[in-house]
Structure 1
Amino acid sequence: MLFKTPLLDKPAPGWKRDLPGPNEPPSIEPYPAVLTNPPNHVDDVYLELARATMRVRGVGILIGPFLLLLSMIPPLIWIVLFRATENIPSLAFYFFGLFAFIAPLWAGIHIWKMDAEAPRDEPIRFNRARRKVYVYRFRHNGLKPFSRSAWGARAEVYDWDNLHAEACSIYGAMGSGGSIQTVTLAVLEPGTRKVVDRFHFAHDIQQGEMYWAMAQLFMQQGPQALPSFPRPPRDWNNEKIRFNLARRLAPKVHWPEAIDLESRSAPSMHD
C-alpha cells in the first residue's frame, strides 16, 4: 500500500510517498535485471545490500583542485594592485575579495573530501535472527572540513520495526534541469511517528523500492523469498580500479569487530 499523505510527523525533504512498513507486504516485486548491484551477501541469518550516498565518484576529485587554484586568484589580485598603485583598496573590495577567496577554498576542500574519503561501499545489513539493521554510514560535516571526528565511517544499529521508507524527489541544479530521486530510511521513536534519525538508502525510486522490498521479503520470509541474481556479488574492497582516482583513494569497508560479529550471527542463549 502506498500512502498519499505523509505518515511521519516530519516527512523527508522532497517527500513524494511513503513505502510500506517493515512488516507490511512489499509494494513492488524485485526484478534483478534492473537492479544496479546484487546483494553483497545473503544467508539464513543476514542480508547485506550495497549502498552509497555518492552516486558518481571521480568528478569531485577533479573539480576540487581547480576550485583551490581559483581561490588563489583574489590574493594575487590584491598583491598586483597594491604593488602597481600602492593604494589601499576600499573595504568593499576587500570584503568581496575575501568572499571570493573563502568560497572556492571551502568548496574545493569539501568536494575533494566527499569524493576521496567516502568508503568504497556503505553497506547495510538486515539481520533476520536479531531483527536488527546494521548500517555502515559515512558521516561528514561541511562546517568542519578539517575535523577528524566529524568525518568518517561509523557503524550504527537500529531496530527493524522502527524503520520507515520514504520516496523523495528534489529538483536540483542539473545540466538540463531535473529532479534527484532517492529513497531514504527514517528511524522512528518506538511506537510513534516521531523521526529520530534519517539516512540515505538508494538512488532512484524504482530501485530503492525494489531493494526495500528485498529487505522486507528477507526479514518476513527468509532468503528463499528473494529472487536469484545472474551476477555474483561485487567485492568492493578488492575490486581492480584503474582510472577512477577517487575510488582508488577511498577507504575500504571495515566494520568494528564486535558489530561485525553481531551483525553476521544469530543470538545465542547467553546474549
Structure 2
Amino acid sequence: MIFTTPLLSKAAPGWQHDLPGPNESPSTEPYPPALSNPPNHVDDVYLELARATLRMRGVGVLCAISVFAMTAFFTAFLIMIESSSPAPTSLLIIIIELSVIGFGIWLGAYMWRMDVAAPRDEPIRFNRANHKVYVYRFRHNGLRPFSRSAWNVRVEVYDWDDLRAEACSVYGPMGTGGLIETVTMAVVKPGTNQVIDRFHFAHGIRQGEMYWAMAQLFMQQGLQALPTFPRPPRDWNNEDVRFNLARRLAPKVQWPADIDLESRTAP
C-alpha cells in the first residue's frame, strides 16, 4: 500500500507519497533489469546497496573549470580597465566588482568539491541479524567550500524499525525546468512520526521503490526472498575511471574498522 497523505510530522520537500513501513508488505516487486545497479553484496547477514547523492560525476569539474576561467578573465579585464582609466573608481563599483569575483571563486570551488570530494559510492548496509542500518554518508557545507571539517564522510547507524521512505519530486533549476524525482529516507523517533534525520536513498521514484522493496524483503524474509541479478556487483573502488576526472579524484569507500565488522556480522 502507498499512502497518499503524509504520515510523518513534517513531510520531505516535494513529498508525493509515503512508501510502506519497514515491517509492512512492499508496494512493488524488484525487477533486476530495471535497476541501475545490483547489490554490492548480499548474504544471510547483510545486504549492501549502492547509493549516491550525485547522479552524474564529471559535469561539476567541467563547470568549475569554466567558472574559474571566466572569473580569471573577468579579473584580468578589470585590472586592465582600472590601470588605463584616468579617473578613480568609486567605492561602490569596487565592492560590486569584488563581489562578482568572490562569487565566481565560491561557485567554482563548490562545484569542484561537490564532484571530487564525494566518495565513489555511498553504500547503505541492512543487517538482518541485528536489525540495524549503516549509512555511509557524505556531508558537505556550501557556505564553507574550502573547509576540511565541513566536508567529510560519516557512518550513521539507525534501527531498521525507525526508517520511513518517502517519494519526492521537485523542479530543479534547469534551463526550461526539470522534474527531479527521488526517494528520501526519514529516521523517526522510536514509536512516533517525529522526524529526527533524513538522507537521500535513491534517484528516481520507481527505482527507489524497488530498492526499498529489496530492503524490506531481505530484512523480513531473508536472502531467499531477493530476485536473481543477471549482472555481477560493481566494484566501485577499483573500476576504470581513466576518462572521468571526478571519479578518479574521488576518495574510495573505506568503512571504519569497527563499524565494518559490526555491520557485516551477527551479534
User: What's the CA shift for 1:168?
Assistant: 0.4
Gaps of 5+ in 2: none
Distance 2:143 2:260 in 1: 31
User: What's the CA shift for 1:85?
Assistant: 1.6
Equivalence for 1:186 = 186
Distance 1:178 1:78 in 2: 36
Equivalence for 2:208 = 208
Distance 2:13 2:95 in 1: 34
Q: Which amino acid in 2 is paired with 1:226?
A: L
SS at match of 1:72: helix
The list of structure 1 runs, each at least 4 consecutive aligned residues, that deviate by more than 6 angstroms after superposition, is: none
Equivalence for 2:31 = 31
Same amino acid, percent of matched pairs: 67
Distance 1:72 1:244 in 2: 25
Distance 2:178 2:83 in 1: 48
- 1:20–1:165 CA contact under 8 A, matched in 2: yes
Q: Which amino acid in 2 is paired with 1:152?
A: N
Q: Which amino acid in 2 is paired with 1:33?
A: P
- 1:41–1:49 CA contact under 8 A, matched in 2: yes
Distance 2:89 2:180 in 1: 43
- Residue 122 (structure 2) pairs with residue 154 (structure 1): no
User: What's the CA shift for 1:16?
Assistant: 0.6
User: What's the CA shift for 1:220?
Assistant: 0.4
User: What's the CA shift for 1:63?
Assistant: 1.1
SS at match of 2:54: coil
CA distances 1:157-184 after superposition (whole Å, capped 9, x unpaired): 0110011000000001224422000000
TM-score (ref. length: structure 1): 0.96
Equivalence for 1:18 = 18
TM-score (ref. length: structure 2): 0.97
- 1:74–1:100 CA contact under 8 A, matched in 2: no
CA distances 1:53-96 after superposition (whole Å, capped 9, x unpaired): 00000111111122112223443343222221232222332232
Q: Which amino acid in 1 is paired with 2:112?
A: W
Equivalence for 1:254 = 254
Aligned-pair RMSD on alpha carbons? Answer: 1.1
SS at match of 1:210: helix
Distance 2:94 2:166 in 1: 46
Q: Which amino acid in 2 is paired with 1:156?
A: E
- Residues 1-271 of structure 1 mapped to structure 2, 5 A cutoff: 1-267=1-267
Distance 1:264 1:178 in 2: 39
Distance 2:90 2:128 in 1: 66
Distance 2:221 2:43 in 1: 12
- 1:74–1:98 CA contact under 8 A, matched in 2: no
Q: Which amino acid in 1 is paired with 2:259?
A: I
Of 127-136 and 172-181, the range deviating more from structure 2: 172-181
CA distances 1:166-206 after superposition (whole Å, capped 9, x unpaired): 00000012244220000000011111111111000000000
SS at match of 1:154: strand
Gaps of 5+ in 1: none
Count of residue correspondences: 267
User: What's the CA shift for 1:99?
Assistant: 2.1
